């Protein structure tokens, strides 16, 4: 005989499993509501959220592992996109403003890496006379000399002329240096990491590498006149001084004539041009008519070996990208695999719990939950897990970039700026939510088709 208050063949909520008592009591109460109660009592967002969160709490271990997998997947994808974007911009889309680079005999790739990305030591120098000869060529609009050899706390110091700053700006109220004084303009990253600002002073260290135990400081002190506005290029990590300052730096030797001459010999007089050398010359050709690049390439690269002309720069950069960054393509493949594995893990986690949750789902149906609500609960759980993974993925993204930033900069000269990922910071989490939704479909269908009578029999 049936107990009082329970229909024959019905379900007594007092016999339900204690682990889900609160949720089931809520549903049971809603089941017994008067007919005039609105439908949202059983299908309201609060009920849905309560069931989803309690289900995740009951399966905390599998949920945590799945969230972690989603976080690693989304963080890795964002990091790969950021690295790919930065390297593509540096080697393919960077606004150079120059068409060619003139430098000492050697490889064109090495010349570009040394001049544009400030990597490794210079291949040598070329005479000042060659620089002037090229600068006065009728097909050359602008020729900017570079002379390297010193550093400040590891940041390269480059001697140049004011032409190097054409089209650039300083952070107010900064100004460019006076070519006749010991003044300097520092890159944005240098200012941020060393504390050098307008009005500050510093002494350069000899050589391109810095050793705190033996800084090998020069006696000369330079005053900072300005900080360059951020460019997102390797120039942000460089200090520019007048090229004459490089020649007159204490301990430097002038070898333009083929013999080493101490710069101190010209302490109180102008240094003759025949003693001067430059490490490289950035060239911009005149627009309109036949480009002088073909002629200069023939005269410099084919008919003599006194110098090297890297031209066109865009082609040299493209070749460098193909040679150096095949690893990025591998990372993209790995990131794709991780995303697939994370999605498969979410699917397996939810699907495997369906068997042990069949009774729970049947009880929910008995207490008034519709098939649609059961379907939505499982789908919601998948989407919430993917959403949590996406949020944690931003932290994973930041951790990865902080680890590889300095390595990428020191080996390739590429500057990583986490905030420049742009749309990727939004699209990757949205994509992860979509993957979560897709992964939740099959478990949700299984929950939707649960046979209440057979399960509770």
Distance of CA 56 to the CA centre of its chain: 33
3-class SS at 98?
coil
Give the alpha-carbon dihedral of 217, 218, 222, 228, to 10 degrees: -60
Q: Which residue has the tokens 């964002």?
A: 78
Where exactly are the structural domains of the chain? 15-88+326-456, 100-311
- What pairs with residue 238 in β-bridges? 156
The first and second tokens of residue 393, run together, are 């993925």
3-state secondary structure of 372: helix
Dig out the tokens for 161 from the structure: 């002329």
Strand partners, 158: 148, 240
Prior bond of 173 cis (ω within 30°): yes
- Is this prediction's pTM over 0.85? no
Q: Identify the three-state secondary structure at position 285.
A: strand
Please tell me the predicted confidence (pLDDT) of residue 247.
93
> Which portions of the chain are predicted below pLDDT 50?
1-11, 13-42
Listing DSSP states for 99-163 in one string gives SEEEESSS-HHHHHHHHHS--S-----EEHHHHHHHHT-TTEEEEEEEEEEEEETTEEEEEE-GG
Residue 275 is predicted with a pLDDT of: 92
Residues in the chain: 457
């Amino acid at each position: 005989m049936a107990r009082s208050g329970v229909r024959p063949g019905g379900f007594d909520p007092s016999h339900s499993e204690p682990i889900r008592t609160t949720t089931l009591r809520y549903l049971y109460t809603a089941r017994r509501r008067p007919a005039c109660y609105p439908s949202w009592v059983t299908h309201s967002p609060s009920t849905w959220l309560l069931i989803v969160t309690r289900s995740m709490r009951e399966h905390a271990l599998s949920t945590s592992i799945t969230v972690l997998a989603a976080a690693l997947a989304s963080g890795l994808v964002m990091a790969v996109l950021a690295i790919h974007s930065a390297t593509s911009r540096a080697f393919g889309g960077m606004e150079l403003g120059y068409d060619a680079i003139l430098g000492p005999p050697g490889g064109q790739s090495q010349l570009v890496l040394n001049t544009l990305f400030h990597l490794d030591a210079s291949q040598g120098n070329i005479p000042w006379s060659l620089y002037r000869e090229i600068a006065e060529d009728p097909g050359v609009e602008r020729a900017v000399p570079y002379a390297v050899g010193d550093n400040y706390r590891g940041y390269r110091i480059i001697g140049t002329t004011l032409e190097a700053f054409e089209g650039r700006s300083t952070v107010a109220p900064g100004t460019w240096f006076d070519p006749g004084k010991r003044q300097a303009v520092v890159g944005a990253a240098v200012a941020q990491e060393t504390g050098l600002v307008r009005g500050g002073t510093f002494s350069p260290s000899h050589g391109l590498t810095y050793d705190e135990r033996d800084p090998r400081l020069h006696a000369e002190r330079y005053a900072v006149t300005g900080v360059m506005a951020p460019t997102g290029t390797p120039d942000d990590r460089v200090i520019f001084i007048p090229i004459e300052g490089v020649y007159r730096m204490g301990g430097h030797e002038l070898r333009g004539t083929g013999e080493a001459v101490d710069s101190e010999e010209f302490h109180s007089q102008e240094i003759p041009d025949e003693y001067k050398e430059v490490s490289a010359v950035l060239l911009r050709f005149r627009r309109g008519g036949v480009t002088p690049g073909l002629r200069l390439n023939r005269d410099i690269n084919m008919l003599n070996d006194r110098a090297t002309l890297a031209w066109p720069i865009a082609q040299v950069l493209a070749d460098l990208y193909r040679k150096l960054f095949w690893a990025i393509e591998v990372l993209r493949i790995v990131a794709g695999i991780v995303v697939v594995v994370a999605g498969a893990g979410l699917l397996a986690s939810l699907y495997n719990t369906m068997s042990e949750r069949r009774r729970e789902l049947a009880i929910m149906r008995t207490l008034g939950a519709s098939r649609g609500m059961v379907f939505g609960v499982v789908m919601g759980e998948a989407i919430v897990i993917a959403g949590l993974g996406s949020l944690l993925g931003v932290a994973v993204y930041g951790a990865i970039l902080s680890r590889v930033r300095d390595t990428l900069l020191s080996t390739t000269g590429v500057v990583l700026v986490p905030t420049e990922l742009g749309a990727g910071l939004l699209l990757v989490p949205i994509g992860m939510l979509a993957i979560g939704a897709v992964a939740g479909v099959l478990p949700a269908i299984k929950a939707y088709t649960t046979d209440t009578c057979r399960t509770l029999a």
